[in-house]
Structure 1
Amino acid sequence: MTTDDLVEIQQLLARYAVTITQGDIGGLLAVFTPDGTYSAFGDTYPLAEFPSLVAAAPKGLFMTGTPAIEHADGDTATGTQPLCFVDHATHEMRIGYYNDTYLRTDDGWRLRTRAMTFIRRNGTHDSGRPHAFERPTA
């Protein structure tokens, strides 16, 4: 993996944080591959469900750290990125990290999968409470 690849992935993840903070769903979806997924709350959500998931989530500031790219092999890579979310209304924080897979596409590097892990006050690391988001019924 080249320095250019690392910078491109870092910019991709910066766009994730900025677009979700600003409520720019179109910009947020653009950082994923078309088959991209997001995992949290005990489930995995395809990109088509991501707008509903974001709409149901608290609003605030997504502050992310520099990702640690753990594995890179040609057009794929994996990494972990720390997160601190600050709720806009209460300024309460949630902390954790994302485990990601990246794919180089014709449009550049994109997130293929992003899985959230929360760090609790008691030190537990988990993917969230399954009831935190209710999927719409068909």
Structure 2
Amino acid sequence: MSTDDLVEIQQLLAKYAMTITQGDIDGLLSVFTPDGTYSAFGDTYHLDEFPALVDAAPRGLFLTGTPLIERSGDTATGTQPLCFVDHATHDMRIGYYNDTYVRTEDGWRLHTRAMTFIRRSGAHDSGRPHAYRRSGA
């Protein structure tokens, strides 16, 4: 992987963390491909659902670590550690994202992002099913 590709993907992921921390939904959506998805809570969400999903989530600081990335041509996969700190209670959630990236004409973008939480028990899971309820569900 070239240094330029690595830096571009790292900056893309930094933009994800900062825009979600600052509540900038348009900026957050811009890091994904138009057909991108986010998976957590036992389900996969498309970008049109992402604003409501983010709105239903607690607010706070998304601290992300350096991702481990493997590139293959114009696609790549990666894993990035996360520590979320709730703004009101300073409670933390820890885990990691498993990602796929695609090089587009606008540069590298997230294609899929899947959250895995690390529990106090040591279990790794995708969260409580139905933590976010889709309209009509």
Give me the TM-score of the superposition, normalised by structure 2.
0.98
Partner secondary structure for residue 7 of structure 1: helix
Paired amino acid for 1:17: A
Q: Distance in 1 between matches of 2:19 and 2:71?
A: 26
Q: Which residue of 1 aligns with 2:62?
A: 62
Matching residue of 2:115: 116
Q: CA offsets, 1:35-79, max 9 Å, x none?
A: 00000000000011000000000000000000001x311100000
CA RMSD of aligned residues (A): 0.8
Structure-to-structure mapping, 1:22-101, within 5 angstroms: 22-69=22-69, 71-101=70-100
1:130 matched to 2:129: yes
In structure 1, runs of 5+ residues without a counterpart are none
Give the match's secondary structure for 1:122.
coil
Which portions of structure 1, spanning 4 or more consecutive aligned residues, are displaced by more than 6 angstroms? none
Matched residue SS, 2:44 = strand
The match for 1:7 is: 7
- Cα distance in 1, alignment partners of residues 104 and 59 from structure 2: 30
Give distance in 2, aligned partners of 1:53 and 1:114: 14
Q: Which runs of 5+ in 2 are unaligned?
A: none
How far is the alpha carbon of 1:131 from its aligned partner? Answer: 2.4
Q: Which residue of 2 aligns with 1:102?
A: 101
Residues matched between the structures, number: 137
SS of the counterpart of 2:89?
coil
CA–CA distance in structure 2, aligned partners of residues 53 and 106 of structure 1: 28
TM norm structure 1: 0.98
What SS is found at the alignment partner of 1:130?
coil
Could you tell me which amino acid in structure 2 is paired with residue 114 of structure 1? R
